[in-house]
Amino acid sequence: MNKPLILVIEDDKPVRTLITTTLKAHDYRFLEANNAETAILETTSHNPDILLLDLGLPDMDGVEIIRRVRTWSNVPIIVISARSEDADKIEALDAGADDYLTKPFSVDELLARLRVTQRRLSMMNRDGAAQSEFINGRLRVDYAAGCAYLGDAELHLTPIEYKLLCLLSQNVGKVLTHTFITQKIWGNSWENNIASLRVFMATLRKKLESEPGSPQYIQTHVGVGYRMLRIE
């Protein structure tokens, strides 16, 4: 199988060189763009498999690129940003980004994020649209029957816990923001729903994780949201 084609959108030359050198060393194919206009042009003309997107570009905010690309494409977008503020990450994720890296990042971190995204990509390609069952490690969600199992044992979940589990599993590998989750579960993102989310997430984890203190399935992104990890 061909390595995916990655579009690197970054105006800072040393950072771009670091990324492309890493990609080259690991046998990835890549394209480069140093501004938003080129990025959008390259995305439409070469149909890359993954976008690595710096948020601070000279001609347009990176979040605006995400919004535009999302009008016609579901291509995975990993945001790379010098801004460490949660608000920027959240804005990018809510606009449709899949994941984020905060500068300075290590080459290993970059490669790890690419692997997560590739797994998500291969799943998306394999499963196409709807599927009736989700399997991840020992977890199995039978969407058709409305049940979840851990190994052979059925998980006894409340309706909200089950909805949460479905939402996370259907977006496995992707960071979901508090706002996104509460909108999907309750239809709005009021403060008290975000507080409830923490409680429901804690009870779900107690049932799902063998060690809730070091969760295997559901990762917390402090101040941002949650992500279900794909278990090898």
Judged by beta carbon, residue 56 or residue 212, the one nearer Ca ion is: 56
Instruction: Answer yes or no whether residue 18 interacts with Ca ion by CB under 5 A.
Output: no
Candidates 11, 37, 61, 142: give the one binding Ca ion (CB under 5 A).
11
Backbone phi, then psi, for 171, in 5-degree steps? -120, 30
Q: How far lies 190's CA from each of 10, 194, 203, in Å?
A: 35, 7, 20
d(CA 178, CA 138): 26
Give, for 179, the enclosing helix (H) or strand (E).
helix 178-186
CB 9 within 8 A of CB 51: yes
Question: Residue 131 CB, nearest distance to Ca ion (Å)?
Answer: 38
Residue nearest to Ca ion (CB): 56
Contacts of 108 (CB under 8 A, 6+ apart): none
Cα 14 → chain centroid: 26
d(CA 7, CA 47): 9
Cα 34 → chain centroid: 23
Question: Residue 56 CB, nearest distance to Ca ion (Å)?
Answer: 4
Judged by beta carbon, residue 35 or residue 189, the one nearer Ca ion is: 35
Residue 4, SS3 per DSSP: coil
Judged by beta carbon, residue 53 or residue 121, the one nearer Ca ion is: 53
Instruction: Write each residue from 154 to 173 as x if it is in contact with Ca ion (CB under 5 A), else as -, in one continuous string.
Output: --------------------
Judged by beta carbon, residue 60 or residue 147, the one nearer Ca ion is: 60
Judged by beta carbon, residue 103 or residue 184, the one nearer Ca ion is: 103
Which residues 36-95 are close enough to bind Ca ion by CB under 5 A? 54, 56
Cα 11 → chain centroid: 23
Which residues 128-157 are close enough to bind Ca ion by CB under 5 A? none
**# residues near Ca ion by CB under 5 A:** 4
Question: Residue 47 CB, nearest distance to Ca ion (Å)?
Answer: 24
Interface residues with Ca ion (CB under 5 A)? 11-12, 54, 56
